[in-house]
Amino acid sequence: MECSDARHLIHLDVGNDLRAEEEGLLAGHMEHCGECRVYHTETSRAMNALYVLRDDPATRPESGSTDRSVWANVSQKIQQRRTSPALARRFNVQVAALSVCSLSLAVVTIVQSLSAMRGSSEPSGYMLSQPVSNLSAPQFYQTHGQGMPNGLYRQQQPQPIPVKSPPQSF
């Protein structure tokens, strides 16, 4: 038997919880294992400390308890519960209606946001058939009597195309 198994049995032995066959096994192991004998003594000592709670009259749970039986109170409560009308279950329409409303609101919101997302990602047929204007941005602002916003103007400025010099002929 391994010491770990023996120690498991020692924990049971200190409270007299070993079976007859286990007692034999443990006794056989302890005969030749000094460490487990020491462990047994230490465990017994710790258990003695625990038994202080069991043995000490000051800490006994019944100390301070009165002789009055709880039956009087229990009986009274049983009678109260018997005489009080039983709670009937009823369907709460308001809660159900509120739930349905919030659920439909949620569904409508989701459907709307989905369609809005779809509209922003692909152009609609109307937008394709009706061009907003044939004018370019600088022309549009000129015809409407406004100066073109600086940022936009800068974006619209044609960038000079670098002209490559022709290759030198040798």
Partner 1 sequence: MLRMSESDAEDLSLDAADSPENGEAPSASEVRLVHAARNGDHDAFGELVLRYERRVLKVVRRFVLDLEQATDLVQESFLRAFERIEQFDPARRFGPWLFRLAVNLTYDHLRKVRRRGRWSLFSDVGQDRPLDPSMADPRAELDLSQEVQMVLAEIPEAYRTVLILRDLEGFCTSEVAAITDRSEATIRWRLAEARKMFKESWERRERRTSRGQAGSEE
Residues lying near partner 1 in the complex (CB under 8 A): 7-9, 11-17, 42-44, 46-56, 58-62, 64-65, 69-71, 73-75, 77-78, 81
Q: Of the two residues 3 and 152, which places its CB atom closer to partner 1 in the complex?
A: 3
Q: Of the two residues 4 and 121, which places its CB atom closer to partner 1 in the complex?
A: 4
Q: Token digits for 50?
A: 């625990």
Cβ 65 to partner 1 shortest distance, Å? 6
Question: What burial class does residue 52 get, using C-beta atoms within 10 Å of its C-beta: 0-12 exposed, 13-18 middle, 19+ buried?
Answer: exposed
Cβ 15 to partner 1 shortest distance, Å? 6
Q: Of the two residues 41 and 136, which places its CB atom closer to partner 1 in the complex?
A: 41
Q: Please list, residue by residue across 77-100, b when 16 or more beta carbons sit within 10 angstroms of its beta carbon and e when fewer do.
A: eeeeeeeeeeeeeeeeeeeeeeee
Q: Of the two residues 43 and 140, which places its CB atom closer to partner 1 in the complex?
A: 43
SS3 readout for 63-96: CCCCCCCCHHHHHHHHHHHHHCCCCCCCCCHHHH
Q: Of the two residues 75 and 156, which places its CB atom closer to partner 1 in the complex?
A: 75
Cβ 42 to partner 1 shortest distance, Å? 7
Q: In whole angstroms, what is the distance from residue 49 CA to residue 30 CA?
A: 23
**First vs last C-alpha separation in the chain:** 101
Cβ 86 to partner 1 shortest distance, Å? 13
Cβ 30 to partner 1 shortest distance, Å? 12
